[in-house]
A and B are shown apart, each in its own frame.
Chain A
């Protein structure tokens, strides 16, 4: 008998169908990955298994854990199962822990609520053991630590400790590494894998990251719009995909674009010995305030028509550098010039340089004012111009920008909520293009998108490079994307650029140990074209 057996599971929330006829099983010690794009129902499958569904949900079908059916169990019975026989790890480690309780209390709580007889001391001792097991030894991470004293990866380890403290038979991990850096992601995935193997635990892994899926899972389940479209053993499925959607999904994940040749080099952006310090709060009352050097002696040049990548983990100074380049912050040393002119003059950004740069941000949902129509949104950069176009010139500029990004002139009168995430990112690109900037900064511009949409946006970038001779700086934590859309790449760590060079060279033959670690840690999609 399988450890977890879900049969013909249907789920609707307030009458809206979410899951349709989902059937899957997990054996003890097996790692099963459920994958799919947003809205495919993969997270809801996990929550249904835990019976932690939102209000208004109704299910039919069966979810058997061993011989117990979750769907007809009382709430009290479910509370006994949760945390004891099945544990769950969530996506966002920064918010998954109670900020006002110590990590020791939170891990010990799992133990104490399922065993009324256990003493506080015994529960804490067991919590300490569990924390050591997930890589948080007591000498460095005592029980008295609070969540805010830990990094994202360390917090995720605490969440895992809470979930496995009682050695549940089933562990559900819902996008456990999506919010983490690649090196941290590799460590957490290793941890989950070894825990599943050591304890003979079934691991149900929900993730949109196909490279992670291919790396980790014994079996893969592909979902789309609430249905399972294909499932099978990892090796078999990867090399013999049946369903066109799975094929499309994996093809999109490994999508490569063909960048047109860059025009002959002419220097555009020059950054020399840039330094950015942040003041820290004083440690003692009258002592000097310390500083934190976010950018440390950074120098690089960007040629006209060049596509430059910038990679590095969170906190390495990528965003600070972006803000400095845009003239949004004053720097403490060095210089930034665009076509020979400084970005920042005196205490204010230099407007004549500002109008030559535009930026596309990560979040397609948060970066637009919802009360403005698209025409107003994408003409916002016009206020940088001394004489913004009006009347016919203005509408022609709007039409051109929208058409360039694959939308139509009619979209100009719509509001932003009428567009999908991918379309919104197109609008963000249109907004950047409309004043024909000499340089565009893409700040994690495709990170929030599903793989199939991401592939389309990357294609759009390649097309625009051909049509407009775009020069851009592409900032991303996703190495595979940077690899395909850039000519040259900078690798940043702790405020310094540790390596730079032609993208292909850096990826194939990294010189700096940090670059090597980074590339080794990034999960890679196997070459699925090859047959086994």
Chain B
């Protein structure tokens, strides 16, 4: 029984992995081409309007812009694979180092926010679904409506006002880094994580509720009750796992959004994250940084989708069989 499950899971994983590779290859080509056709040669941008053609040519050859496009693409991809993302045009520092620094803020922040949002949403959704139409359900649904409607930067401002300015539990902005220990780093990210998590939790709770309600009206829930399970037992043993598929989809989407979509929150809390890096690089036409960050984000989205696919298969045996 276990071996059967294991081999089908392994086969499924292999297939998804293959599709992940192909997606990555296609994505890298598309990103490279899109950035190439965008107007604004970095060399002329750096040297300004009145640059001498000789200086321009020299800078171009220094930046590696004078070789054929196809060669540049392969150099870029080979660099990506070995961790060499090139050198930023504007800052003259290795891109991998810049991204690495920012990732140490953005990735923990995204994971933190996602964990909070899931921890909030699951109980809220399950509670609302099991009390459909009653006061508890209406209360939770009202709260989530508010959570979806109110933008996260407003939450951020309110949180700063209460917890930083009045209560002085957290600092109002900036990030101390991880050097002073895991928990002090986590402490520094708490307010932004909450601000990011609240709207996401509201969406997730609504998805959880409606998905669970769909499952509760399924025939097999009635079968479970006919066996002698109580309402609650039937919900936990048979309802929840079946309701998870749409919820996992949303969680996957939310992670990708949280990783780079938190520009506003990063601004509000003065966090040196990926969102701000992208913003600055775009303004400075630092194409190599933009290219690398976009590729990183695409990679993370594809990776998360891959993980979500694996989670689907773990939850639902029918998906393992189909592949």
Contact = CB atoms under 8 A, between A and B. Distances in A.
Decide if A and B are genuine partners.
Answer: yes
A180 interface: no
A117 interface: no
Interface residues of A, number: 38
B219 interface: yes
A90 interface: yes
Contact of B228 (A82, A97, A98, A148): A82
A114 B229 CA distance: 9
B233 A100 contact: no
A113 B218 CA distance: 21
B4 interface: yes
Contacts of A159: 223
B303 to A, nearest CB: 22
Interface string B1-19: 1001100000000000010
B219 A84 contact: no
Interface in B283-321: 315-318, 321
A87 B224 CA distance: 11
A144 B18 CA distance: 28
A341 interface: no
Contacts of A75: 230
A90 B222 contact: yes
Nearest to A75: B230
B217 to A, nearest CB: 10
A100 B222 contact: no
Contacts of B219: 90, 92, 95-96
Contact of B242 (A52, A99, A104, A142): A99
B49 interface: no
Given A98-B220, A100-B241, A83 B1 contact: no
B226 interface: yes
B238 A98 contact: yes
Interface in A437-469: none
A110 B229 CA distance: 8
B1 A102 contact: yes
A144 B4 contact: yes
A175 interface: no
Interface string A86-116: 0110101001111111101000011001100
B299 to A, nearest CB: 23
Nearest to B237: A109
Contacts, number: 83
Interface string B197-240: 00000000000000000000011101111111110010001100
Contact of B223 (A76, A90, A146): A90
Given A142-B1, A146-B317, A146-B318, A101 B227 contact: no
A266 to B, nearest CB: 49
Interface string A50-71: 1010000000000000000000
B238 A79 contact: no
B21 to A, nearest CB: 13
B315 A88 contact: no
Nearest to B315: A100
Interface string A348-373: 00000000000000000000000000
B316 A100 contact: yes
Contacts of B18: 285
Contacts of A505: none
Contacts of A92: 219
Nearest to A50: B226
Nearest to A107: B227
Nearest to A142: B1
A403 B233 CA distance: 55
Nearest to B244: A100
Contact of B229 (A79, A81, A101, A281): A79
Nearest to A86: B226
Contact of B226 (A83, A98, A114): A83
A477 B4 CA distance: 37
A249 interface: no
A462 B242 CA distance: 48
B228 A83 contact: yes
B223 A113 contact: no
Contacts of B233: 113
Contact of A97 (B223, B225, B322): B223
Given A100-B242, A113-B233, A144-B1, A83 B227 contact: yes
B220 A52 contact: no
A302 interface: no
A80 B227 CA distance: 9
Contacts of A148: 317-318, 321
B184 to A, nearest CB: 42
Contact of A99 (B5, B226, B229, B316): B316
Contact of B1 (A143, A149, A162): A143
Contacts of A114: 228
A113 B229 contact: yes
B238 A52 contact: no
A299 to B, nearest CB: 35
A163 interface: yes
A286 to B, nearest CB: 12
Contacts of B318: 99-100, 146, 148
A497 B190 CA distance: 71
Contacts of B317: 99-100, 146, 148
A95 B227 contact: no
B243 to A, nearest CB: 10
Nearest to A149: B321
Interface of A: 50, 52, 75-76, 79-84, 87-88, 90, 92, 95-102, 104, 109-110, 113-114, 142-144, 146, 148-149, 159, 162-163, 281, 285
Which 6 pairs show the lowest CB-CB distances between chains A and B?
A144-B1, A83-B228, A83-B227, A95-B219, A88-B226, A82-B228
Interface of B: 1, 4-5, 18, 218-220, 222-230, 233, 237-238, 241-242, 315-318, 321-322
14 contacts: A79-B230, A81-B228, A83-B226, A83-B227, A95-B219, A96-B219, A99-B318, A100-B242, A100-B315, A100-B316, A109-B237, A146-B321, A148-B318, A285-B18
